[in-house]
Copies of this chain bind each other. A is one copy, B any other.
Amino acid sequence: MSQQFEPTDIRSPLSADQLEVELRAIGEARYHHRHPFQLALQNGELSKAQVQAWALNRYYYQSMIPIKDASLMARLHDPELRREWRQRIIDHDGHGPGEGGIQRWLALTDGLGLDREMVVSTGKILPATRFAVEAYVHFVRERPLVEAIASSLTELFSPLVINTRVSGMLAHYAFVSEQTLAYFKPRMTQAPRDADFALDYVKRHALRVDQQQGVLAALRFKCDVLWSMLDALDYAYVAPRRIPPGAFDPEVDG
């Protein structure tokens, strides 16, 4: 797809450590820890219906992550790399029924009182959620491999949200518990492990200027994916609270 990105102003190749500095600066500026919906979520300012809408839409993201990772793994010709990347799929899909990150996300939507069939069907998510998540999968299939791997680097910044999100939600919302938030606990070790691997790969393989511009653009793109998902939730369910046709309506579906 003809994705156009603003070029990063790099004239000559950065050192690996300079590249890391640039990547971390993008996360600091653009990761969704700064988004008003994220702040409202962790500060206890959302209604149960708004938290339901978030969990329902985020389920689609969670459910597509192994498909994204399998798409990426299908492009890796080195068994060692594939073994490394495979762990991500195991984390999300588990070793058997009832296990893995997707199941733990469903424990959250169950705990919020959402109908499981509705959640799993994804029929009531916001179109903007679907389009953003699909853009991520297509990106990973179509862009140069080092950019596909770099697009996972938002995980470098997940410590910026997971702890505050969990503690904030537990403190403020009677309708969540440590049990329903079980998804997040393993992520606190999985995400940094995955991010370290991907960052090391990117630092070793993005050596030319065009590659470095590409990986910086890839991380901006991925931040846009997460940000636009929260924009759409904020618009539909917070203010001006305009639910698009056919999407989850808490008064009907909640």
CB distance from A183 to the nearest CB of B (A): 21
Is A128 within 8 A of B128, CB to CB?
A: yes
**Is A134 a contact partner of B228 (Cβ separation < 8 A)?**
no
Nearest chain B CB to A36's CB is how many angstroms away?
7
Stretch in A99-107, A174-182, A229-237 touching the partner? A229-237
Number of copies: 2
In whole angstroms, what is the CA distance A36 to B221 when docked? Answer: 28
- B231 with A234: CB separation less than 8 A: no
User: In the complex, what distance in Å separates the CA atom of A244 from the CA atom of B35?
Assistant: 9
Q: Does A225 contact B (CB under 8 A)?
A: yes
Interface flags, A135-151, vs B, CB<8A=1, else 0: 10110000000000000
CB closest residue in chain B, given A120:
B4
Q: A30-B245, A228-B244 are in contact. Are A123 and B4 (CB under 8 A)?
A: yes
A70 to chain B, nearest CB (A): 12
Q: In the complex the two chains form, what is the Cα distance from A36 to B234 in whole Å?
A: 16
CB of B232 within 8 A of CB of A128, answer yes
A43 to chain B, nearest CB (A): 17
Which residues 52-108 of A sit at the B interface, judged by CB distance below 8 A? 64, 67
Q: Is A252 an interface residue (CB 8 A)?
A: no
Extra 12 A-B pairs, beta carbons < 8 Å, given A4-B122, A126-B228, A224-B246: A3-B130, A4-B121, A4-B123, A36-B242, A127-B221, A128-B128, A128-B231, A131-B131, A224-B244, A234-B235, A235-B235, A239-B240
